[in-house]
Protein backbone atom coordinates (compact mmCIF):
# COMPACT_ATOMS: atom_id res chain seq x y z
CA UNK A 1 0.00 0.00 0.00
CA UNK A 2 1.54 3.30 -1.02
CA UNK A 3 1.70 6.00 1.66
CA UNK A 4 1.89 8.83 -0.84
CA UNK A 5 -1.88 9.44 -0.74
CA UNK A 6 -1.45 11.13 2.67
CA UNK A 7 1.06 13.97 2.59
CA UNK A 8 2.85 14.04 5.93
CA UNK A 9 4.88 17.03 7.10
CA UNK A 10 8.45 15.99 7.94
CA UNK A 11 8.13 17.20 11.56
CA UNK A 12 5.27 16.28 13.85
CA UNK A 13 4.35 16.78 17.51
CA UNK A 14 3.67 13.72 19.65
CA UNK A 15 1.04 14.87 22.14
CA UNK A 16 1.66 12.45 25.03
CA UNK A 17 3.04 15.31 27.15
CA UNK A 18 -0.21 17.26 27.01
CA UNK A 19 -1.80 14.11 28.45
CA UNK A 20 0.35 14.76 31.56
CA UNK A 21 3.11 12.28 30.70
CA UNK A 22 5.68 12.28 33.54
CA UNK A 23 4.32 15.50 35.05
CA UNK A 24 1.09 17.45 35.36
CA UNK A 25 0.43 20.36 33.03
CA UNK A 26 -2.39 22.81 33.55
CA UNK A 27 -4.77 23.42 30.67
CA UNK A 28 -3.07 26.76 30.06
CA UNK A 29 0.40 25.18 30.04
CA UNK A 30 -0.72 22.49 27.61
CA UNK A 31 -2.29 25.13 25.35
CA UNK A 32 0.96 27.13 25.37
CA UNK A 33 2.91 24.03 24.28
CA UNK A 34 0.51 23.38 21.40
CA UNK A 35 0.56 27.06 20.43
CA UNK A 36 4.37 26.99 20.33
CA UNK A 37 4.24 23.91 18.09
CA UNK A 38 1.80 25.58 15.70
CA UNK A 39 3.71 28.89 15.67
CA UNK A 40 6.90 26.93 14.89
CA UNK A 41 5.28 25.57 11.75
CA UNK A 42 4.42 22.07 13.00
CA UNK A 43 1.39 20.76 11.14
CA UNK A 44 1.29 17.07 12.04
CA UNK A 45 -0.13 16.08 15.44
CA UNK A 46 -0.23 12.57 16.89
CA UNK A 47 -2.19 11.48 19.93
CA UNK A 48 -3.85 8.36 21.43
CA UNK A 49 -6.57 7.41 23.92
CA UNK A 50 -3.75 5.85 25.98
CA UNK A 51 -2.14 9.26 26.55
CA UNK A 52 -3.54 10.52 29.81
CA UNK A 53 -6.65 8.33 29.58
CA UNK A 54 -8.10 10.60 26.90
CA UNK A 55 -6.76 13.91 28.23
CA UNK A 56 -4.30 14.32 25.35
CA UNK A 57 -7.05 13.89 22.76
CA UNK A 58 -9.31 16.38 24.57
CA UNK A 59 -6.64 19.07 24.89
CA UNK A 60 -5.25 18.58 21.39
CA UNK A 61 -8.73 18.56 19.88
CA UNK A 62 -9.74 21.76 21.70
CA UNK A 63 -6.64 23.48 20.32
CA UNK A 64 -6.93 22.18 16.77
CA UNK A 65 -10.59 23.17 16.58
CA UNK A 66 -9.31 26.77 16.46
CA UNK A 67 -7.27 26.02 13.31
CA UNK A 68 -8.37 25.50 9.68
CA UNK A 69 -8.95 21.75 9.28
CA UNK A 70 -7.15 21.51 5.96
CA UNK A 71 -3.94 22.98 7.41
CA UNK A 72 -2.95 20.07 9.66
CA UNK A 73 -2.66 16.27 9.69
CA UNK A 74 -4.11 14.42 12.70
CA UNK A 75 -3.42 10.87 13.80
CA UNK A 76 -4.67 8.89 16.78
CA UNK A 77 -4.65 5.24 17.76
CA UNK A 78 -6.96 2.30 18.41
CA UNK A 79 -6.81 -1.07 20.18
CA UNK A 80 -7.43 0.06 23.75
CA UNK A 81 -10.87 1.33 24.77
CA UNK A 82 -11.30 3.57 27.83
CA UNK A 83 -13.87 2.25 30.29
CA UNK A 84 -14.80 3.17 33.91
CA UNK A 85 -12.36 1.80 36.47
CA UNK A 86 -14.31 0.06 39.26
CA UNK A 87 -11.20 0.07 41.46
CA UNK A 88 -10.67 3.85 41.32
CA UNK A 89 -10.09 5.20 44.83
CA UNK A 90 -8.74 8.65 44.05
CA UNK A 91 -5.38 7.47 42.73
CA UNK A 92 -3.38 8.50 39.66
CA UNK A 93 -2.40 6.60 36.50
CA UNK A 94 1.30 6.82 37.42
CA UNK A 95 1.86 3.11 36.76
CA UNK A 96 1.58 4.19 33.11
CA UNK A 97 3.55 7.42 33.76
CA UNK A 98 0.51 9.69 33.34
CA UNK A 99 -0.39 12.14 36.10
CA UNK A 100 -4.16 11.92 35.69
CA UNK A 101 -6.87 10.32 37.86
CA UNK A 102 -7.14 6.59 37.14
CA UNK A 103 -10.94 6.73 37.03
CA UNK A 104 -10.77 5.03 33.62
CA UNK A 105 -9.00 1.83 32.58
CA UNK A 106 -7.68 0.60 29.26
CA UNK A 107 -9.49 -2.41 27.78
CA UNK A 108 -7.96 -4.24 24.82
CA UNK A 109 -10.39 -4.74 21.94
CA UNK A 110 -9.23 -5.77 18.46
CA UNK A 111 -12.71 -6.58 17.10
CA UNK A 112 -14.26 -4.54 14.31
CA UNK A 113 -16.89 -3.29 16.76
CA UNK A 114 -14.08 -2.27 19.12
CA UNK A 115 -12.18 -0.42 16.39
CA UNK A 116 -15.36 1.43 15.35
CA UNK A 117 -16.11 2.32 18.96
CA UNK A 118 -12.55 3.58 19.41
CA UNK A 119 -12.86 5.86 16.37
CA UNK A 120 -16.22 7.24 17.50
CA UNK A 121 -14.96 7.88 21.04
CA UNK A 122 -11.77 9.55 19.77
CA UNK A 123 -13.85 11.77 17.46
CA UNK A 124 -15.96 12.80 20.46
CA UNK A 125 -12.95 13.57 22.68
CA UNK A 126 -11.18 15.44 19.88
CA UNK A 127 -14.28 17.28 18.75
CA UNK A 128 -12.94 16.66 15.24
CA UNK A 129 -14.61 14.22 12.88
CA UNK A 130 -11.86 13.71 10.31
CA UNK A 131 -9.01 11.45 11.47
CA UNK A 132 -6.33 11.41 8.78
CA UNK A 133 -4.38 8.44 10.12
CA UNK A 134 -5.30 5.69 12.58
CA UNK A 135 -2.61 3.45 14.07
CA UNK A 136 -3.15 0.19 15.94
CA UNK A 137 -1.33 0.88 19.21
CA UNK A 138 1.24 -1.63 20.54
CA UNK A 139 -0.66 -4.76 19.37
CA UNK A 140 2.11 -7.13 20.51
CA UNK A 141 1.45 -6.09 24.12
CA UNK A 142 -1.89 -7.86 23.82
CA UNK A 143 -1.96 -10.43 20.99
CA UNK A 144 -0.27 -9.81 17.63
CA UNK A 145 -1.85 -12.88 16.02
CA UNK A 146 -5.30 -11.62 17.00
CA UNK A 147 -4.41 -8.17 15.64
CA UNK A 148 -3.45 -9.68 12.29
CA UNK A 149 -6.61 -11.79 12.20
CA UNK A 150 -9.11 -9.16 13.38
CA UNK A 151 -7.84 -5.64 14.00
CA UNK A 152 -5.97 -4.99 10.76
CA UNK A 153 -8.82 -6.28 8.54
CA UNK A 154 -11.14 -3.98 10.55
CA UNK A 155 -8.78 -1.05 9.94
CA UNK A 156 -8.74 -1.83 6.24
CA UNK A 157 -12.54 -1.85 6.22
CA UNK A 158 -12.94 1.53 7.93
CA UNK A 159 -10.31 2.99 5.60
CA UNK A 160 -12.16 1.62 2.56
CA UNK A 161 -15.34 3.23 3.91
CA UNK A 162 -13.56 6.58 4.28
CA UNK A 163 -14.05 6.66 8.06
CA UNK A 164 -10.29 7.30 8.37
CA UNK A 165 -7.90 8.45 5.68
CA UNK A 166 -5.01 6.03 6.24
CA UNK A 167 -4.07 3.20 8.60
CA UNK A 168 -0.96 1.87 10.28
CA UNK A 169 0.58 0.40 13.39
CA UNK A 170 2.66 1.95 16.16
CA UNK A 171 5.16 -0.14 18.13
CA UNK A 172 8.66 -0.24 19.57
CA UNK A 173 9.11 -3.93 18.71
CA UNK A 174 10.80 -4.56 15.36
CA UNK A 175 9.43 -8.09 14.88
CA UNK A 176 5.86 -6.89 15.41
CA UNK A 177 6.36 -4.03 12.97
CA UNK A 178 7.84 -6.31 10.31
CA UNK A 179 5.03 -8.87 10.56
CA UNK A 180 2.42 -6.13 10.46
CA UNK A 181 3.91 -4.59 7.31
CA UNK A 182 4.23 -7.95 5.55
CA UNK A 183 0.83 -9.38 6.55
CA UNK A 184 -1.47 -6.32 6.50
CA UNK A 185 -2.21 -3.60 3.96
CA UNK A 186 -0.87 -0.55 5.82
CA UNK A 187 -0.14 2.99 4.66
CA UNK A 188 2.30 3.94 7.41
CA UNK A 189 3.92 2.61 10.55
CA UNK A 190 5.16 4.47 13.60
CA UNK A 191 8.56 3.13 14.70
CA UNK A 192 9.20 4.14 18.32
CA UNK A 193 12.85 4.21 19.37
CA UNK A 194 14.00 1.50 16.97
CA UNK A 195 15.48 3.73 14.27
CA UNK A 196 17.47 6.49 15.95
CA UNK A 197 20.86 8.10 15.66
CA UNK A 198 22.01 5.95 18.60
CA UNK A 199 20.70 2.57 17.44
CA UNK A 200 18.95 1.22 14.36
CA UNK A 201 17.61 -2.32 14.93
CA UNK A 202 14.71 -1.53 12.57
CA UNK A 203 17.21 -1.20 9.69
CA UNK A 204 17.61 -4.98 9.51
CA UNK A 205 14.06 -6.01 8.58
CA UNK A 206 11.52 -3.23 9.16
CA UNK A 207 12.91 -0.74 6.65
CA UNK A 208 13.40 -3.32 3.87
CA UNK A 209 9.86 -4.62 4.41
CA UNK A 210 8.50 -1.06 4.18
CA UNK A 211 10.49 -0.38 1.00
CA UNK A 212 9.17 -3.60 -0.54
CA UNK A 213 5.54 -2.88 0.41
CA UNK A 214 5.72 0.88 -0.23
CA UNK A 215 4.75 1.53 3.38
CA UNK A 216 5.92 4.82 4.84
CA UNK A 217 7.54 5.25 8.25
CA UNK A 218 6.99 7.82 10.98
CA UNK A 219 9.95 7.80 13.37
CA UNK A 220 9.13 8.51 17.03
CA UNK A 221 11.13 8.54 20.28
CA UNK A 222 14.14 9.73 18.28
CA UNK A 223 15.86 11.10 21.39
CA UNK A 224 16.12 7.61 22.96
CA UNK A 225 14.39 8.48 26.26
CA UNK A 226 16.22 11.83 26.29
CA UNK A 227 19.77 10.52 25.76
CA UNK A 228 20.07 12.50 22.50
CA UNK A 229 18.14 15.55 23.66
CA UNK A 230 21.25 17.47 24.78
CA UNK A 231 24.53 18.06 22.97
CA UNK A 232 26.49 16.91 26.04
CA UNK A 233 25.32 13.35 26.92
CA UNK A 234 24.93 12.39 30.57
CA UNK A 235 26.14 9.03 31.85
CA UNK A 236 23.21 8.75 34.26
CA UNK A 237 20.69 9.01 31.42
CA UNK A 238 17.88 6.48 31.29
CA UNK A 239 17.66 3.85 28.60
CA UNK A 240 14.48 1.83 28.05
CA UNK A 241 13.52 2.77 31.63
CA UNK A 242 16.74 1.23 32.99
CA UNK A 243 20.48 1.84 33.10
CA UNK A 244 22.38 2.72 29.92
CA UNK A 245 24.67 -0.21 28.91
CA UNK A 246 28.37 0.61 28.68
CA UNK A 247 28.58 -0.28 24.99
CA UNK A 248 25.79 2.16 24.12
CA UNK A 249 27.32 4.85 26.32
CA UNK A 250 30.60 4.61 24.40
CA UNK A 251 28.68 4.75 21.13
CA UNK A 252 26.77 7.81 22.33
CA UNK A 253 29.97 9.60 23.36
CA UNK A 254 31.53 8.97 19.93
CA UNK A 255 28.43 10.18 18.07
CA UNK A 256 28.33 13.34 20.21
CA UNK A 257 32.03 13.99 19.52
CA UNK A 258 31.55 13.68 15.75
CA UNK A 259 28.57 16.05 15.87
CA UNK A 260 30.66 18.54 17.85
CA UNK A 261 33.48 18.31 15.30
CA UNK A 262 31.00 19.30 12.60
CA UNK A 263 29.41 22.07 14.73
CA UNK A 264 26.07 20.25 14.68
CA UNK A 265 24.00 20.04 17.89
CA UNK A 266 23.43 16.39 18.80
CA UNK A 267 19.62 16.84 19.05
CA UNK A 268 19.52 18.31 15.52
CA UNK A 269 21.29 15.25 14.16
CA UNK A 270 18.92 13.02 16.16
CA UNK A 271 15.84 14.66 14.63
CA UNK A 272 17.17 14.65 11.08
CA UNK A 273 18.87 11.23 11.01
CA UNK A 274 15.75 9.09 10.34
CA UNK A 275 14.82 11.32 7.40
CA UNK A 276 18.03 10.29 5.60
CA UNK A 277 16.19 7.06 4.75
CA UNK A 278 13.92 7.18 1.73
CA UNK A 279 11.13 5.29 3.51
CA UNK A 280 10.89 7.65 6.51
CA UNK A 281 8.25 10.31 5.85
CA UNK A 282 8.12 12.13 9.16
CA UNK A 283 9.74 12.47 12.59
CA UNK A 284 7.47 13.00 15.59
CA UNK A 285 8.92 14.59 18.73
CA UNK A 286 7.28 15.39 22.06
CA UNK A 287 7.91 18.18 24.53
CA UNK A 288 6.25 19.66 27.60
CA UNK A 289 7.60 23.23 27.39
CA UNK A 290 7.08 25.81 24.63
CA UNK A 291 10.82 26.46 24.37
CA UNK A 292 11.42 22.77 23.59
CA UNK A 293 8.98 22.91 20.67
CA UNK A 294 10.57 26.04 19.23
CA UNK A 295 14.05 24.54 19.63
CA UNK A 296 13.06 21.25 17.98
CA UNK A 297 11.62 23.10 14.99
CA UNK A 298 14.90 25.00 14.64
CA UNK A 299 16.88 21.75 14.86
CA UNK A 300 14.68 20.19 12.17
CA UNK A 301 15.39 23.10 9.82
CA UNK A 302 19.15 23.29 10.49
CA UNK A 303 21.44 22.61 7.53
CA UNK A 304 23.53 19.52 8.35
CA UNK A 305 26.62 18.83 6.23
CA UNK A 306 26.70 15.57 4.29
CA UNK A 307 30.17 14.98 5.73
CA UNK A 308 28.61 14.35 9.16
CA UNK A 309 26.48 11.48 7.89
CA UNK A 310 29.40 10.13 5.88
CA UNK A 311 31.71 10.03 8.91
CA UNK A 312 29.06 8.40 11.11
CA UNK A 313 28.53 5.74 8.42
CA UNK A 314 32.28 5.24 7.90
CA UNK A 315 32.67 4.50 11.62
CA UNK A 316 29.74 2.05 11.56
CA UNK A 317 27.56 4.22 13.81
CA UNK A 318 24.73 4.50 11.28
CA UNK A 319 23.87 2.33 8.24
CA UNK A 320 25.91 3.18 5.13
pLDDT digits (tens, 9 = 90+) for 25-43: 999 999 999 999 999 999 9
Q: What percent of the chain has pLDDT over 90?
A: 93
Pairing relation of β-strands 238-239 and 164-171? unpaired
Model confidence pLDDT, tens digit, residues 85-140: 999 999 999 999 999 999 999 999 999 999 999 999 999 999 999 999 999 999 99
Model confidence pLDDT, tens digit, residues 160-169: 999 999 999 9
Model confidence pLDDT, tens digit, residues 54-93: 999 999 999 999 999 999 999 999 999 999 999 999 999 9
From the candidates 13, 44, 51, 195, give the one annotated as an active-site residue: 51
Q: What pLDDT shows up at residue 317?
A: 97
Q: Compute CA 230 distance to the chain's CA centroid, rounded to the nearest angstrom.
A: 20
Residue 4 pLDDT grade (very low, low, confident, very high; cuts 50, 70, 90):
very low
Q: What pLDDT shows up at residue 235?
A: 86
Q: What pLDDT shows up at residue 241?
A: 63
Q: What pLDDT shows up at residue 320?
A: 86
Domains in the chain (CATH in brackets) are 11-314 (3.20.20.100)
CA distances (Å), origin 214, targets 131, 132, 169, 206, 209: 22, 18, 15, 12, 8
> Which pTM value belongs to this model?
0.96
Q: Is 51 a catalytic site residue?
A: yes
Amino acid sequence: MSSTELELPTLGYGAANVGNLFRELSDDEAWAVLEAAWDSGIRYYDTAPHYGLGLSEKRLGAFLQTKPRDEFVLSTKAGRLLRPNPDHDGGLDTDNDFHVPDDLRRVWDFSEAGIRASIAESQERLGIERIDLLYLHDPERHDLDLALAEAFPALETVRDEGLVGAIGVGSMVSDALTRSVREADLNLIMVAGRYTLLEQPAAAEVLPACAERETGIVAASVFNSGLLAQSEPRRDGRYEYGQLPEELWERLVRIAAICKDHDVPLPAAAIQFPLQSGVVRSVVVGGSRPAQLRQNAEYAALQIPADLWAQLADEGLIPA
